[in-house]
Every structure is written in structure tokens, then in C-alpha cells.
Amino acid sequence: MDEKEYKALTKKTLPKRKPRTLPLSKAKQSYLEEGLPWSGGRGGKLAFKAWNMGRYDEAEELGYRVKRFNPTAVKFGHVITWLLSLFEKDEDGTD
């Protein structure tokens, strides 16, 4: 329906469309750095975030190996090659 036609029939202006999502705030260095309390993301309680070092200690006590990666290492494929090399060692039987 045309704007003039709508206004003639309803005697109202067309409603303005609002964006469905809010834009993200500007990236500040304070919450982009790894290890800081603000690196947990945009929502949720900070006590339950992965940077809680007690969880890493508990996992190591249970026998798990904990390795943290930087997002750039994942982006450039260093992590994938490291994981593939671990799987190749496991298939060869060397450890």
C-alpha cells in the first residue's frame, strides 16, 4: 500500500519501523583482554564463567589436561593442527 493511500484511508502516518536487534556496544579493551573479569561475555553471572580458575584445578585433579587457547590461534588454525597431531600420536600408540 502506498503512503498516500494509507494516509487517505486511515488518516494516520505510516508507523516507523524499529530495528529488531540492538547494535553491539563499541569494543573496549577492558573486556576484550583475556583473563579479566569482563572477558566472560555480555550476559550471565560472572561467578559461573569459564575464567574461574578453581574449575581448572578440579579438572586437573581428575586427570584431565587443561589447555587454554587464544581466539586468534583458533582463527588461524593452530589449534586444529595441534589437535590433529594429538590424534595422530594416539593412533600410533606413542604417548
Asked whether residue 42 is assigned to any structural domain, the reply reads: no
- Evaluate if residue 95 carries a pLDDT over 60: no
Check residue 36 and report its DSSP letter.
S
Asked whether residue 45 is assigned to any structural domain, the reply reads: no
Asked whether residue 87 is assigned to any structural domain, the reply reads: yes
Asked whether residue 33 is assigned to any structural domain, the reply reads: no
* Greater model confidence, 13 or 41: 13
Check residue 95 and report its DSSP letter.
-
Domain range enclosing 76: 70-95
Report pTM: 0.36
Cell numbers placing 44:
550471565
Grouping H, G, I as helix, E, B as strand and the rest as coil, residue 39 is helix
Asked whether residue 49 is assigned to any structural domain, the reply reads: no
For residue range 17-63, what is the model confidence (pLDDT) as tens digits?
777 676 666 666 555 555 544 455 555 555 555 556 777 788 888 88
In the chain, the number of structural domains is 1
Distance separating alpha carbons of residues 93 and 83, to the nearest angstrom:
16
* Greater model confidence, 94 or 21: 21
Asked whether residue 85 is assigned to any structural domain, the reply reads: yes
pLDDT at position 38? 46
